[in-house]
Amino acid sequence: MFSKKENIENGSNYKNKKIIHSKTPTYRIVLSSIFVALGVSLSVFPGAFPVGPTKVFPFQHMINVVAGILLGPLNAGLVAGLIGITRIGIGTGTFFALPGGIPGALVVGLVYKHLGRKEAAGLTEPFGTALGALLSAFFVAPAIGAPSLPPFLGLTAQWQLFTIFFLMSSVPGAIMGYLVVLALKRRRIIEGY
């Protein structure tokens, strides 16, 4: 091992160097893995609650916001997809977890990347989730043979019902994610994103 004096002479003062730079593939893989593990564990406790054929899970949308800002659109979409697939596999999610999660993560990542890098981009997650609701109503529900939803609040159109159910999850989740990002930035845990 080198002594402290030799390290200083060689210019390798480890105190002032970052171990993992935020743009490296290693950083993205590790952070993605943490988000997937967090999403799956939160789906068990406190869990999701059933509404119609869906299971409302606001923590998915919270993770979409944070991942979209920290990892970008493609990696955030991958994280949402892996969480959805795992939730389906362990029974804490339905097939609607995929179109309900992935579009929101992609929208947050794209808006954050291309429109000024403001943390308020996290509040655009419900727009992606609304797109996922339309995909669910028009493509996923008929493909898996889901029964028609009963009227809710006087609405009978399937796309309207899916949109309401998905937004019941997405709006609180996006607000939570926005608050998490603000807290992380305020504590200087994340910088330069």
The full length of the chain comes to: 193
| Prediction pTM value | 0.83
Write out the two tokens for 185.
């930035």
- DSSP assignment of the chain equals ---HHHHHHTT--GGGS-SS-TTSHHHHHHHHHHHHHHHHHHIIIII-EEETTEEE-HHHHHHHHHHHHHH-HHHHHHHHHHHHHHHHHHTS--TTHHHHHHHHHHHHHHHHHHTT--GGGGGGHHHHHHHHHHHIIIIIHHHHTPPPPPPBTTB--HHHHHHHHHHHHHHHHHHHHHHHHHHHHHTTSS---
Q: What digits encode the pLDDT tens for the residues 8-49?
A: 455 555 454 444 446 788 889 999 999 999 999 999 988 888
- Tell which wins on pLDDT, 62 or 162: 62
Asked if residues 68 and 121 have their Cβ atoms less than 8 Å apart, the reply is yes
Highest mean pLDDT of the ranges 1-5, 26-30, 58-62, 159-163: 58-62
pLDDT at 18: 45
User: Given this model, what pLDDT does residue 128 score?
Assistant: 96
Chain segment 74-89, per-residue pLDDT in tens: 999 999 999 999 999 9
pLDDT for 120-170, tens place per residue? 999 999 999 999 999 988 888 888 877 777 666 666 678 888 899 899 999
User: What domains are defined for the chain?
Assistant: 24-186 (1.10.1760.20)
Angle at 94 between CA 70 and CA 158, to 5 degrees: 100
| pLDDT score, position 55 | 87
In the Cβ-directed half-sphere of 75, how many Cα atoms lie within 13 Å?
21
